[in-house]
Each structure stands twice: as structure tokens, then as C-alpha cells.
Chain A
Amino acid sequence: MIKTKLSENERAIIIGLRGNADYHTFMMENGMTIGSIFQITYSPKFLGLQNIKVGNKLLSLRLAEFEKIEWLRI
């Protein structure tokens, strides 16, 4: 079975961003483009957010934004 979700502490590389130019700009302002590596951090369900670590930066994204990222587990 292929895992379609990342668990806490798992790392992935961004291989695509499924969104318009504004979404790409938004991700770029957060330091994320194709080739960026991120790690999943603790994100309790009630927040409705996905917390990640990009470089040394701790970042929180809404699930709708996070789900537009195409990633590859590393």
C-alpha cells in the first residue's frame, strides 16, 4: 500500500506545487519552491493546520494550502 500522508517527523522534498501563480508566490515568500525539503511537525487535528519545519524555520500552513504540495518522501 502506498502511503499518501506524511507522519510526524517524516521529511519530504517538494516536486510540484498545484496552484496558480499567486500560490507559487505565496509559497516562495515562505521559502518553499520545487526542490525545498520540509519535515512534518506536531499538528493537533483541532488546529486544522499543518505545521512543518523548512530549513530551521517552523511554519504553519492551512490544510488547503498544504494539500496542494506534491511531495516525495525522503
Chain B
Amino acid sequence: MAADMSFTKIHLVGAPNSGKSSLFNQLTGLNQKVGNYGGVTVEVKTGKFGKIEVVDLPGLRSMHSGNPDEQITRKFLLDTSNSNEAFIYVANGSLLEESLMLFSEIADLQKPILFVVNFKDELEKNKIVVDRAKFERLLGCPVILINSISGEGIVELQNHLTEGKFLIPNAFCRSTFDTFSEGVYQNGYLKHLIKPTSHNARELDFQKRKKIISLFMKTAVQKEENTPLVDLSRKWDKVLIHPVFGVLIFLSVMYLTFQAVFAVSSYPMDWIDGGFSAVSQWIHGFEVANWLKSLLADAIVPGIAGVLIFIPQIAILFLLLGILEHTGYLSRISLISDSFLKRFGLSGKSIIPLMSNWACAIPAIMSTRMLSNPRERMALIFASPLMTCSARLPVYAILISVLIPYDDSKFFGAQGLALLALYLLGVAATLIIAWIFTRRTSVQENAFWSMELPVYRWPNWRSIFINVYQKTKSFIIEAGKIIFAISILLWVLSTNSPKGSDFIDQQHAEIVAKGGHYASVSHESIAMEYSYMGYIGKFIEPAIKPLGYDWKIGIALITSFAAREVFVGTLSTIYSIESEEDKTIVEKLKAEVNRGTGEPRFGLATVISLLLFYVFALQCMSTLAIVRKETGSWRYAIYQFLLFFAMAYISALAAFQILG
């Protein structure tokens, strides 16, 4: 049946692992954005292909599936309000017969559609031959064979989009639910989807569809009994999920990932840090008003540096996670971890949201929507913020660098091991809290669990790099805005004093006159102490002194409640203002002296105490907001905040008192 030719919006729909996102990246390139759908927090990517808006919908297994993510896709499909929207159904070529089941359900909705068979190369490798003309006649809509990884067939697809070649497909099984009255067919299928009639009716419907699909496959598709690509994956599984080799490979992959994040990114991070220090120094040489010079060199430049310095680590982490996902290995990690996670009330499926936390708790909490078990989902939402997110990474990186010198002669350095230990501590805390949650909560539990294992395939580099670009851009824009604004605010509060400059001069002279290590105390340091910021820091100092922190660290703790990564930016701003020399932030922290004892301020006990504080504390307003949105109330967010703060305070206190 012919459909309207002028479509302004195209939705990509298909099962998980069908290559929808790769196709979306092929069509839209970098011209895309990630948004939330209609007031809920499901991530829906939209992009532009010419004048057409392309929407990448969450993967759907069946029109009857009940996961929150799938419900959104279902809602898009059932929406009848917009007539200039069409759909591209993306089928995984390796699973063509299985893909037709979901297509049959969507076809019965009678919407303009185009059928895309993805992973064309895998069809060939599995010796599957599709008679395209017959297939098109059977389905009643255009069929295009593509490879979203290599880009093969994309031009033909683009031509179809431009020309609006979408058709309303043949209905598969509408008659199971349709009624015939007064000479007109009433669409009962839609009614059944909205309010399922009975389990038996659905099973009958499923069997009927299966028979039709089987007939279609026999008519239009030639295939051999053996499937080389699937068999090859099965051979790889014998090694990759082996009780000894599989676990060793898993642990090695995790270890190498962290070493790469730390070791490889240390070079560009040093360049960025050193480069911005040089820029600050250069600005100090300008012949302009002192306040303007200070604003540029001590607030704006360190503020920008405080954002850009994290790009290498975030980009490398997402690159490696992308490779693990695209190759199919991430699903095997789920399998290997299931028996372990089961002990904590979770399942192997939790590993993906858990690992997403290493990037950011917000998408990780959003990704729990793919879990069908409500209890597991709530436990993960509650415990997830304890996993080490990328915002903690710069805090850890700076503090570890203060404590442990970087040894570039060894790839397996002590810095990497320290970072791994902190990540493992975050994992342990998450699992223990999840375990307690699943035992204490009354949230309903689903009894069944299954996991689809995609075949191993070569990663789609274009798609991975687009994802890395998007995530890094999102970090720079979202976190950068906060870091930059706080840097300016801090500068204002740090360079102004309620006491006036004469008082500061007098205080400085008195301290220097004491002699000994007091003789080297700078004027800037005294100015900071008596600034508005100094007074705020001193107000909270009694509460944080037992943890080994002074008022300057206190300022960084307060500002980092907005976002953890602000901690480093704050210290960078405070010490830039305090110090006349243009050292790197690590050098400045190492040089900082406890005026009372003459010992380094960032000694072993203080650094360990700070690290532990940041392992546990929920210092991220955005995470609290997303928990509220996902759980529907502030209750969980408030519990989380208070519990994690207590854990952070007690562990930091214990560490400083034992080691100090």
C-alpha cells in the first residue's frame, strides 16, 4: 500500500544488538544530540539527515515487552497522532528469522515502514541468500540490505529516505484479533496491545506468526543448516567463558583498561596542564589592570584547564568500553559475572549499568531501565552512585599523583594499581549496599532471567568514535559550565576580603616575623585566609579537622557538592591565587605545608582520608536529581545522600586517625 511521500521524521526501530545505533551514526554523523523523551529520562538520540529528523529509539524485543525503555519505543509505535512520521525497521541479518517476529507485530500496526537487513556481510558468511524481490512482495514494503559497519548499502538507503520510499506493509495476523461487523474490519490488534486479552490468545498469535514467518523464510531465503559465524562465536566462547582462561582474560582486560586510562592519558594531561600554566604565566606579564590580569590568569585560564584536563581520561575510558561492547565481549562479561552478582541480589545484566557508572552515574541510572526485574533495578539505582564515575577520576588522579610519583619506566605502575584499588573499593561498596537493599526492600521481584549473546564482530570504529565525541562533548558542556562558573565565583570570593588590604598586610608582617617555616608564608596565602572564601572554609574547619583537612580543602569540599570534579578546579583556583609561581596543580599541592606542623599538607593520611571521602560521598546534584526522577520521589535520593555521607565521613575519619 502506498504511503504519504513527505516524511519529516524517521524512527529507527529494532531489537537490541540489531545495529540501529551504528546505522543512526552512519545517517547523521556528528549532527546529533541526546535528549530525554517527553519528561521521562529515557535517552533518545535524535539527529538530522538533510531536512529529515532521525530518531534512534531504544531496542525492543516484543510489542508486549514491559521494560521502561521498551515502553517508550512502544509508545512511539502506537502513537497515531502524526501522519508525517515513518519507521525504518532494522533487522540483524544473522537473526533474520528471529527479527521477523518483532517486525510482524509492528507491521500489523500498519505504519509506513522500510525494512533494513543489517550486517549484510554476516548473511554472506552464514551462507544466507535473501531473494530481495520476493521478500519485498511478501512483506509489502521496500527491503534494503546494508552493512552499518562498513557503510555498504547506506547510499541506497539514503536515496530511499530522500525520496520517501516507505510503504504500509502487509498485515501478518491482524485477523486473530480483528472483528468483522457491518461489512467493516475493526482493528482488534491495537486494542489487544493496549489491553492484552488473554495469555492463550497471545500464545496462539505467536504460533500463527511463527508459521507465517517460517513460510516466508522458505519462500524468500536460502540458508544452510550450519551457520559458520555463530559456530565461530561458539568456539571463541569456549575460551572466553572458560572457568580458568575466561576469568583470567576478564581480569586482564579490566586491569589493562585501567592501566591504559591512567598511563596513556597521563601524557596529554601533562601537556594540557603544562600548557595552561604557561598561558597563565604569559598573562601575568600583560600590562593591564591587576584585577583583569588576575581574573584571566587565576580564574578563567585555570577554570578552562580544570575542564579540558579530563578529556583524555574520559575519551580513553569510553573508547575502551565501546570496543568491549561492539565486539560482543561485554555480553560475555555479563555471563561470567552473573553467578557472582547473583549473590548480591543482582544479575549478569546489571554489569552493563554497573560499568556505565565508570563513565557517569546519570546514564548508568537511566540504563537500569533495561532491567526487567524491579527489585534489581531499584537496588542498582540506590547503590550505583558508589561506583567510581569519571568525575571522581580527576580527583583520584590528582591525589594519587601527589602521593605516588609517576614512573614511566613501568607500564604496570603503582599509580595504576592505586587507581584499580579505588575502583574495586567502589565496586565492593556498591555490591554490599545492593545486597542490603535487595534484602530489606519490599519492591517486587521478577523470577526469570535470560541473556542474548551477540556473535563476536569487529568493532564499528566510526560509531565508537562518534560516541566518544558525544560523551566528551557532553562532559565539557554539562560539567564545564558548572566548573567554569564556580571558578569565577571562587575567584570573586577569594580575592575580596571584608577586612581590607591594610589588615592583610599587617597579618602577613606579623606571621613572617615569627621566623622559621613561617618566614616563607606568602602574602597571597594570608590574603586568601582573610578573604570571604577563607571565612567560609574556616566556618566548617572544626567539622573537617578530625579528617585531616584544613579550611582550603573545606572550600573544595563545599564547591564539589555541585559536582565532584569541581574539587580539582577549586584547588587549582585557590592555589593559583595563592601562589605567584606558575606550577602545575600537582606541584602546588605537593608544596603546600601545614602551617602548624611544618609537615606537607597533602601527606599520606590526608590524601588517603580524602580519597576515601570521595569513594563514598554522593557529591553530585545531578545524580540526586536523576534518582528522584527515576524513583518518582525524593525519598531514595535523601536516604542515599545521608547514608553515603555518613560512610564517607566515618571512613575518612578512621583513615586519618589511624594513619595520621
Contact = CB atoms under 8 A, between A and B. Distances in A.
Contact of B234 (A25, A55, A58, A61): A58
Interface residues on B, range: 35 or more
B98 A57 contact: yes
Given A29-B65, A42-B234, A60-B451, A55 B98 contact: yes
Interface in B631-656: none
B370 interface: no
Contacts of A35: 207
Interface string A35-60: 10000011011111101010111111
B592 to A, nearest CB: 50
A55 B241 contact: no
Query: 5 smallest A-B Cβ distances: which pairs?
Result: A58-B453, A26-B448, A21-B199, A60-B451, A48-B339
23 contacts: A22-B447, A25-B64, A26-B448, A29-B62, A33-B210, A41-B234, A46-B339, A48-B338, A49-B335, A49-B338, A53-B234, A55-B98, A56-B94, A56-B95, A57-B452, A58-B230, A58-B452, A59-B451, A60-B335, A60-B450, A60-B451, A60-B453, A62-B450
A45 B449 CA distance: 17
A30 interface: yes
Contacts of A61: 449-450
Nearest to A36: B210
Contacts of B202: 25, 28
B338 A31 contact: no
B525 interface: no
B233 A29 contact: no
Interface string B450-480: 1111110000000000000000000000000
B335 A47 contact: yes
A44 B98 CA distance: 26
Interface string B429-463: 00000000000000000011111111100000000
Interface of B: 61-62, 64-65, 94-98, 101, 126, 199, 202-203, 206-207, 210, 227, 230, 233-234, 237-238, 241-243, 246, 335-336, 338-339, 342, 447-455
A55 B126 CA distance: 13
B611 to A, nearest CB: 34
B95 A57 contact: yes
Contacts of A31: 98, 101
Contacts of B64: 25, 29
Interface in A1-38: 21-26, 28-31, 33, 35
A46 B248 CA distance: 14
A53 B449 CA distance: 16
B343 to A, nearest CB: 11
B2 to A, nearest CB: 33
A28 B237 CA distance: 25
B617 to A, nearest CB: 35
A1 B203 CA distance: 35
B341 to A, nearest CB: 11
A24 to B, nearest CB: 6
B338 A47 contact: yes
A42 B206 CA distance: 29
B203 A24 contact: yes
B556 to A, nearest CB: 45
Contact of B243 (A28, A29, A46, A55): A46
A61 B166 CA distance: 38
Contact of B233 (A28, A58, A65): A58
Contact of A55 (B95, B207, B449, B453): B95
B227 A22 contact: no
B151 to A, nearest CB: 24
